[in-house]
Amino acid sequence: MRHVQRSPGRVTVQEAAGHTGHSTADENGTPSRAADGTVLLDVREPFEWQAGHAPGAVHVPLSALAAGAPLPPEALGRPLVVICRSGNRSRQAAELLTARGAEAVDVIGGMRDWAEVGLPVVDPQGGDGTVA
């Protein structure tokens, strides 16, 4: 019997925010803990992460994942919502992670759409970030 690989799902930024607790963030933009333990995994490059990212997101660049890097401990065995700048790299990362056995979906429109709908973007110090 042939194993059929399923493609990862895709979610909107609003759905991603709901899954990761960002739709119920506190006044500082810190997400509440998602009930199902879903992790927002940002796969952009370090300079993009430094410019701005979603509060509470976990960072592993797609280039590192493609080279075989493991997920960080806080993302192991948990559902993943994968985000990048526009949705291209996150789709590739979600496919890679699904092939490794992870439960992963990617975010349509990425951090550009995330910021556009008014979801929080912070820099490493917790100040206002930008999407690079």
Q: Give the 3-state secondary structure of residue 96.
A: helix
Does 83 map to a domain?
yes
DSSP code of residue 127: S
Q: What is the pLDDT of residues 28-39, one digit of tens each?
A: 555 555 557 899
Query: Among all chains, which residue has been given the structure tokens 């009930």?
Result: 35
Does 111 map to a domain?
yes
Q: What is the pLDDT of residues 7-24, one digit of tens each?
A: 679 999 999 998 898 875
Domain limits for position 91: 9-116
Q: What is the pLDDT of residues 70-121, one digit of tens each?
A: 999 999 999 999 999 999 999 999 999 999 999 999 999 999 999 999 999 9
- Whether 84 is a known active-site residue: answer yes
* pTM of this structure: 0.88
Does 105 map to a domain?
yes
Give the count of domains, the chain: 1
| 45-65 exposure pattern, b = at least 16 Cβ within 10 A, e = fewer | beebbebbbbbbbbbbbbeeb
What are the percentages of helix, strand and coil residues in the chain, rounded to 5? 35, 15, 50
Q: What is the pLDDT of residues 37-51, one digit of tens each?
A: 899 999 999 999 999
Cα 64–chain centre separation: 15
pLDDT at 52: 97
Q: Which of 25, 41, 58, 84 is catalytic?
A: 84
Does 58 map to a domain?
yes
pLDDT at 25: 52
Check which CATH number belongs to the domain holding 78 and give it: 3.40.250.10
